[in-house]
A and B are shown apart, each in its own frame.
Chain A
Amino acid sequence: MEIKTVRIPTGTPGDIHAVMEVSDGVIVNAEVCSSTTPLAWETLVLEKHPEFAIVAAERVCAGCDASAGLAVAEAIENALEVQVPDAATEAREALNAANTVRSHATSLLKSDLDLDADALYTVIKAAKKVLHALGRKPDHPPAITPGGLELETIPTAKVENAAKEALETAEKIKDDTASAVDDLKDEIQAEMNVETYGEPGYKADLTPDDVEIVPPDEFYRMKSALELANNHVALVDGNPTLVGPQARKNLTDHPLDAYTAKAEEIVESLEKIAETSENLDPNADVKTDVEYTSGEGHAAVEAPEGTLLVTIKLRNDRVDEALMVTPSNVKAAVAGRVLKDLEEEHAPTVIKALGLSGRCLTH
C-alpha cells in the first residue's frame, strides 16, 4: 500500500489535489481537496452593500458566475421580501441557462474527449450573445441586481435568434459527446454508488437546514489532505452527495457520464432560452424598487456545476452575515468515493469530469 498525492489539472483556476491510498495500481481510499488561497467571500462582503455581494459572488469562479450572482440576488430579495416581476424571473432563468451553455461547452473543450472545437465555440458564442443581451456584458453579467435586472427593454429577438441558431450545432455536440464518452468508458472502468441531489430547472429547493458545512480538519482523515486542505466541504442530509448535471439528468452509472449530461443540458438550455424569449414581452417590467431594511433570506439555484446555496442576513443596507455553499463544496465530499476502486492512472480524467474548481471550493 502506498499513499500518493497528485495535483489534478482541471482546466479551472485553483489547485485540486487527490490524496490516494494505492494498492497494485488501484485506488483503495482517496480524499480530494484544494490548497487554493481562500477568497473568503463570506467575510469580504461583511459590512458592504448588498449589491457588492452580487458583484463579488460573480467573481468567485468564472464557470458559474451568473448563477452565483443570481443566487445572491434572490437571497437578498427573500431577506427583504421583495417580489420580483415575473418577466425578470423568466429572463433570469434564460440568463442562468446561457451560463450553463457556456460553462458546459468550455468544460467539454477542456475534457479528455476528442470533440469538434469549432462546434463548441459556436455554442459558446451563442451563449455569450444571450449573456450580453440579458446581463449587459458577456462575463460576470452586471445587470443582475436585487429586484430584477437592470434592463430598459428585453432584447427578446436577439436572444431567441442566438439560441435557435446554435441548436443544430448543439445537437451534433450531444451526439459526438455520447459517442466519445462511450469510447473512453471502454478504457476506464468505474462505478458510482453515490447519493445525488438536483432536478432540472433553475431554482432548487435546497435550504440551509439540509446542508452541513464541515471544516477541513473535521472532514479529512489522511495526513497529506489535512496538511493541504484550505476548503470546507458540504454534506447534504448528512451525506456526501453528487450535485450537478449528472445528478440533474440522473446519469450516474459512470463518472464520465458527466460529459454526456453536460452535452444534453446544452441542448435543453438553448431550447429553454428560445422558448422563454419567444414568450417574453420586450417591454415587460423587469425591475422592482428595493428598500433596504433588515432581514434574512436564502436561495438556491442550479448553477452549471451543481446546486449553489446562498444565505444572507442584512442589517439595513449592509451585509451582516453571509454563507455560500458552492457545487464544488458539495462535490468535494463525494469525490474521494468516486475514485475508490479506480485504476490510479485514471484519477485525473475522472476528477476533471466531476467539474471541481479549486477557486469555487475555497470561494
Chain B
Amino acid sequence: MKIAVLSLMACGACARNLEEACHETGHEIVWSSLDGDTGKPDADVLFIDGAVDFTDHETLEKLQETTSAVGTVVSLGSCAATGGFERHVIGMRDPDRYHFTVFPAAKFTDTDYAITGCPPTTDAIAAFLQALDERDEEALRPYKVLSGDYHALKPDLPAPVTGPELPVEDVLLTSNKDLCLGCDLDVIEKDLFCVGCGTCSTACPAMAIVMDEKPVIRQERCIRCGTCFASCPRSFKTTRG
C-alpha cells in the first residue's frame, strides 16, 4: 500500500509512530505534509494526523484536496478521531478556557476508519495496516465504528448493538461538554456495561484510570482521548439472537 500523511493540529507522535510501523511492516510513505509534500497525493491510504481548526481555511482546503484524491481515509490518533487533547487548545493565549473551533477530521470530511490512542502505539498501527492489507472486515470493524460511521454500519450487523445508542460521533462531541472532550467511559459505566475487567485502565495513555472494582477516572490526568472507550471490550459488543 502506498501511504500518505496529512499532519494538522498535532504533536507529531502519531505520525512518528506511523512511520515506525511502516518501516516495520514494509509499507511505503509516498507523500507527507511533514516533509513538505503538497497537492493531491498519489496514494492508496491517507492518514490524517491531528485535529482540525475550522477557522483555519488553509487546513480545510488541504483536507478537502487530499481526502478527495485518496480511496481510503484514516483518522490517526485521538486528535484526528475525536478531537482529543487538541480540544483543550485555547489559541492565541486568549483567556477563554474553551476553544470550540477544534474538531475531529470526520466532522469535515468522510473518513473510513479511525485509530484512537494518544498516540496509537506502533504495534496498534501495524495491526491496523495488516487488517487493511488483508481487507479483514471483522478486524477493521472497530476502526470503522470509531470513524463516526456508526449509523451506517448498524443495519449491516447480524444482531442488535448493545453499545451506546447515540451515534458515536454525537456522543463524543456532546456528552459532558464542559468536562469531557472525547472520553466516554462514563457511557459504558452508566449503562451498566462495565464488568470491571481493567482493560481501559491498562490502555489509558495518561494513567488516568485506577481500578476500584470498577474504573475510577483521575480527572486531573484525563486528556479526553477516548482510548478507554475504544479499548473497552463491551463498547462494541453485539448480542446474538
Contact = CB atoms under 8 A, between A and B. Distances in A.
B17 interface: yes
A143 B204 CA distance: 12
Nearest to B89: A39
Given A13-B34, A139-B119, A142-B206, A59 B93 contact: no
Interface stretch (A60-68, A183-191, A305-313): A60-68
B220 interface: yes
A110 interface: yes
Given A7-B36, A43-B95, A59-B118, A137 B11 contact: no
A12 interface: yes
Nearest to B101: A37
Contacts, number: 119
Contacts of A62: 11-13, 16, 119
Interface in B146-175: none
A9 B92 CA distance: 23
Nearest to B219: A49
Given A37-B56, A142-B207, A150-B207, A43 B94 contact: yes
Contacts of A124: 20
Interface in A331-363: 348, 357, 359
A65 B35 contact: no
B221 interface: yes
Given A65-B13, A139-B17, A142-B207, A55 B93 contact: no
B205 A142 contact: yes
**Contact residues on B (Cβ < 8 Å of other chain), bracket:** 35 or more
A110 B89 contact: no
Given A48-B220, A59-B223, A121-B20, A40 B89 contact: yes
A43 B205 contact: no
A108 B168 CA distance: 40
B50 interface: yes
Given A51-B221, A142-B206, A150-B207, A43 B118 contact: no
Interface in B32-54: 34-36, 49-50, 53
Interface residues of chain A: helix, strand, loop or mixed (majority): loop
B234 interface: no
A55 B206 contact: yes
Given A11-B35, A61-B11, A140-B13, A56 B205 contact: no
Contacts of B36: 7-9, 348
Contact of B12 (A38, A39, A46, A359): A359
A315 to B, nearest CB: 15
Interface in B1-30: 7, 9-13, 15-17, 19-20, 23-24
B91 interface: yes
A244 to B, nearest CB: 17
A65 B11 CA distance: 9
Contact of A117 (B23, B91, B219): B23
B90 interface: yes
A359 B85 CA distance: 14
A352 to B, nearest CB: 10
Interface of B: 7, 9-13, 15-17, 19-20, 23-24, 34-36, 49-50, 53, 56, 85, 88-95, 97, 118-119, 121-122, 204-208, 218-221, 223
Given A13-B7, A140-B13, A142-B221, 15 more contacts: A9-B35, A13-B10, A13-B34, A38-B93, A43-B90, A43-B93, A49-B219, A49-B221, A52-B220, A55-B221, A55-B223, A56-B85, A121-B24, A140-B119, A142-B205
